[in-house]
Every structure is written in C-alpha cells, then in structure tokens.
Amino acid sequence: FRQFLFQNKDKDIIMYHGTIPDHDVWNKGLLPTSRTRRMSLQSGSGYVYVTYDPQRALSFARTGYPGEDVYVVYSITVPIKMLKPDADQLFNKRLWSNELHKDIGSSLADSLIYGGGARIKGRVETYRIAVQGFYDKNGNKVEHPSDFDRKY
C-alpha cells in the first residue's frame, strides 16, 4: 500500500471531512485547527483532518459538536501527496489497542489503514470541496437545510 501511495502521489483522491453547516466554507474553505478552533485536545494545530469514510467523518463531527441538529460531510478532492499521517490517531491506536498494534508505524499508509484517516496541512481551498451530505443527530441523511444557501 505504501508503494501504491508513492507511485500515485500526484493523482487525486476523495477524502471526507465532517462538521456543522455553520462554518463559512464557501468563502473561507476548510480552515485548519488552531487553539481556538480545535474540537479535540489531541489535534495538532495547522491541519484539516480527513478520512476515506463519510460515516467516520460524520462520527467525528458528532463527537466534536455534540447535540447539534444538523451535520454536514464534505468530500474533498486532493492529490495524495497533500495527505499527511494523522499522528494523533496513530498514537491512540498504539496506546489503546492490544499488543498486535503496538508496532504500528507512522507513515501515511499506517494512518489510513490503522487510523482511518489523514490530515492536510493548512486550509483546504473551496474548489476542492463539495457537499457529500447532510445528516441529523442520529446519523440519518436529511435534505439540505433550507437556510444553508442563504448563509453562504
């Protein structure tokens, strides 16, 4: 898998990011984490966290914003070379898993296989972003909120 990622580093891949629809994504893009914009104490500043699974993106949104009525999952099209390993997820996998996973490495391949995602350094530009879907607090796909277009 590492070899595949290296050989295809210039090719685009679709990843997913979950959040709430209140963010001004269409004017600002997806902004990286910072001290004031961090939904997890472990998240490093300066990154947008992504996953290959829309349901996992939704799960992260629901964890970061508990109790919201509507969540949005964005698809993000980026070249593989923009993806960086998610060191936080890899650390957790090593820390909380059984002996079988103690020797997990820190490569992008390890991050995707064992951590389920990756991170992108800096802001994700609007032209790379599309709405994958809107979801209610129970994870059911819902129609796009009526005020979403008016906000942005």
Q: What is the pLDDT of residue 43?
A: 63
Q: What is the pLDDT of residue 146?
A: 63
* DSSP secondary structure code for residue 128 in this structure: G
Transcribe 32-77 into DSSP letters: PP-SSS-SSTTPPTTEEEEES-HHHHHHHHHHHSTT-SEEEEEEEE
Which residues neighbour 52 within 8 Å (Cβ) at sequence distance 6 or greater? 13, 15, 16, 112, 116, 117
Residue-by-residue pLDDT tens, the chain, 152 positions? 989 999 999 999 999 999 999 989 999 999 998 766 555 555 667 899 999 999 999 999 999 899 999 999 999 999 999 999 998 888 878 777 766 666 788 999 999 998 899 999 999 999 999 999 999 999 999 987 665 554 44
pLDDT the model gives residue 88: 85
Residue 39: predicted pLDDT = 55
CB 108 within 8 A of CB 116: no
Q: What is the Cα–Cα distance from 36 to 38, expressed in whole angstroms?
A: 6
